[in-house]
Chains A and B, each alone.
Chain A
Amino acid sequence: MIEFYLDSYSKVATYQQLVQQVKQSLRLGLLEPGDRLPKVREVAESLAINPNTVLKAYRQLEIEGLVAGRVGVGTFVVRSLAGPSLASLGRLRGELVAWLSRAAAAGLEHEDVLALVETTLRATFQAGQEEVA
């Protein structure tokens, strides 16, 4: 079972935040087909949000074919977003943690790391696309 949280400062609509969190959990393999999403009442209560907002998020996920509602039982995951890469996630994460501690040792702060990752990501993907083209 996953637990939702809301970013109060985010500009992203509340229902969209819920959708994104489910998708992220699907991508990371934290949610798998057959798993039940928290009940609408539970989410509405723990986050103090309108139950209609939760319903809207679940409907959106249903339209995208990721979950299915069963009347009186709950909403269940029917499709995963985790690709074959899931198996290597653990190893990659370990390497990233090691790299982050090296970055910290080199004096990089949180925002320096983010800036470096962002620019490198953009440059690498652009180079990759040009090669393909």
Chain B
Amino acid sequence: MSTALETNGLGKRYGRLWALRDCSLRLPTGRIAALVGPNGAGKTTLLHLAVGLIRPDAGAVRLFGQAPGSSRGLLSQVGFVAQQTPLYPDFTPAELITMGSKLNDRWDGAWPRERLGRLGIPLNRQVGKLSGGQRAQVALALALAKRPSLLLLDEPVASLDPLARREFLQALMGGVADEGTTVLLSSHLVGDLERVCDYLILLQAGQVQVLGAVEDLLTAHKVLIGPHRPGGNRVPGVAAVVRESHTGKQSTLLVRTSGPIHDPTWKVHDVSLEELVIAYLADASAGALPGPVHIEQEVTG
């Protein structure tokens, strides 16, 4: 499978603080990936490095095998919607669409016109006078009018109300379906992304903590409920305990498995993406990375 985005030992420093450190990941083409992590984890830094808005202090980032901004062809393949969807507030959507046609090699102006018309967004009202949800739709329509192969979005739904959030995700899923556009979408609202994303990149404190296809991650993680057993992580089939809680009578473990769990004393439940993400966020020392794990200190469970 080909690769849309790849980073190798990528790092970015602000003063003495590393916003992103030793970040190595690969996003296959055609995936819709969630980039999640707490505020300050390095999500925006990673996105800005990927589109070439800032330059790395260590390592490298490649889009379709090329450095960001290295060619005009690559620029036309990448769409980016920055945080708070910044647009020129005095321009109307119609004017922004015209502007896009002058600034881009590849541009389908009819598409955003039709799209915004269908959503009932006035093309001749200044963008500054539109609602937050409408502005987000305009920004998305402009980014998709480029017909990008890779679309990056920084917290696109964070400031939207639930209805506008759903409408935005509907437009996004419809907009990327026809051409199998690769998407990388940062968010701290995981619940929204469960049905949208099929790939997960979890950043914590500037490093990649969890990486992989959502389906594989959900298959590999289980919740085990059984009789109270302190340090009960020596269950055959358990590779690591991510989160555990105990009452006097019962133990609940969220585990990464290495095989089926046959021990009948444990009741085995599936996990949701949200549960999995929250468990890892709560324990920065746990990790789930594919292949040779690229972490400095050894993971302790």
> Interface on A for B, CB 8 Å cutoff?
6, 11, 14, 40-42, 44-54
B166 cross-chain contacts in A, Cβ below 8 A: 48
Would you call B178 and A48 a contact (CB within 8 A)?
A: no
Residues A50 and B30 in contact in the complex (CB < 8 Å), given A11-B270, A14-B195, A41-B178 = no
B270 cross-chain contacts in A, Cβ below 8 A: 11
B195 cross-chain contacts in A, Cβ below 8 A: 6, 14, 47-50, 53
Q: Does B197 contact A (CB under 8 A)?
A: yes
Residue among B171, B174, B198 making CB contact with A52, cutoff 8 Å = B198
User: Closest residue to B167 on the A side, CB-wise?
Assistant: A48
User: In terms of DSSP, what is the predominant structure of the interface of chain B?
Assistant: mixed
Would you call B197 and A41 a contact (CB within 8 A)?
A: no
Q: In the assembly, what is the distance between CA of A48 and CA of B174, in Å?
A: 8
Would you call A52 and B170 a contact (CB within 8 A)?
A: no
Q: In the assembly, what is the distance between CA of A46 and CA of B195, in Å?
A: 13
Residue among A11, A14, A40, A48 making CB contact with B170, cutoff 8 Å = A48
How many chain B residues touch A (CB < 8 A): the figure is 18
User: Closest residue to B165 on the A side, CB-wise?
Assistant: A48
B171 cross-chain contacts in A, Cβ below 8 A: 45
**Residue among A44, A49, A53, A54 with most chain B CB within 10 A:** A44
Residues A48 and B198 in contact in the complex (CB < 8 Å), given A11-B270, A41-B178 = no
B174 cross-chain contacts in A, Cβ below 8 A: 41-42, 44-45
B180 cross-chain contacts in A, Cβ below 8 A: 51
Return 23 A-B CB contacts under 8 Å, by A number.
A6-B195, A11-B270, A14-B195, A40-B177, A41-B174, A42-B174, A44-B173, A44-B177, A45-B170, A45-B177, A46-B170, A47-B195, A49-B196, A50-B196, A50-B198, A51-B176, A51-B180, A52-B30, A52-B31, A52-B32, A52-B198, A53-B195, A53-B198
Q: In the assembly, what is the distance between CA of A51 and CA of B176, in Å?
A: 8
Q: In the assembly, what is the distance between CA of A108 and CA of B140, in Å?
A: 51
A50 cross-chain contacts in B, Cβ below 8 A: 32, 173, 195-198
Q: In the assembly, what is the distance between CA of A48 and CA of B198, in Å?
A: 13
Looking at the assembled complex, report how far the CB atom of B137 sits from the nearest CB atom of chain A, in whole angstroms: 13
Q: Does B169 contact A (CB under 8 A)?
A: yes
Q: In the assembly, what is the distance between CA of A22 and CA of B64, in Å?
A: 37
Kindly list 13 other residue pairs between chains A and B, CB separation below 8 angstroms, not including A11-B270, A50-B173: A40-B177, A41-B174, A41-B177, A45-B170, A45-B171, A47-B170, A47-B195, A48-B173, A50-B197, A51-B173, A51-B176, A52-B30, A54-B177
**Residue among B31, B173, B196 with most chain A CB within 10 A:** B173
Q: In the assembly, what is the distance between CA of A112 and CA of B259, in Å?
A: 42
User: Closest residue to A45 on the B side, CB-wise?
Assistant: B174
Q: Which of B155-188 contact A (CB under 8 A)?
A: 166, 169-171, 173-174, 176-178, 180
User: Closest residue to A11 on the B side, CB-wise?
Assistant: B270
Interface string of B181-218 (1 = CB under 8 A from A): 00000000000000111100000000000000000000
Q: In the assembly, what is the distance between CA of A51 and CA of B146, in Å?
A: 20
B197 cross-chain contacts in A, Cβ below 8 A: 50
Looking at the assembled complex, report how far the CB atom of B36 sits from the nearest CB atom of chain A, in whole angstroms: 16
Q: In the assembly, what is the distance between CA of A30 and CA of B203, in Å?
A: 47
Q: In the assembly, what is the distance between CA of A41 and CA of B270, in Å?
A: 29
Looking at the assembled complex, report how far the CB atom of B35 sits from the nearest CB atom of chain A, in whole angstroms: 15
**Residue among A45, A51, A52 with most chain B CB within 10 A:** A51
A45 cross-chain contacts in B, Cβ below 8 A: 170-171, 173-174, 177
Q: In the assembly, what is the distance between CA of A53 and CA of B177, in Å?
A: 11
User: Closest residue to A54 on the B side, CB-wise?
Assistant: B177
Residue among B30, B31, B196 making CB contact with A48, cutoff 8 Å = B196
Q: In the assembly, what is the distance between CA of A11 and CA of B198, in Å?
A: 17
Q: In the assembly, what is the distance between CA of A53 and CA of B198, in Å?
A: 9
Q: In the assembly, what is the distance between CA of A102 and CA of B262, in Å?
A: 48
Q: In the assembly, what is the distance between CA of A52 and CA of B195, in Å?
A: 10
A54 cross-chain contacts in B, Cβ below 8 A: 177
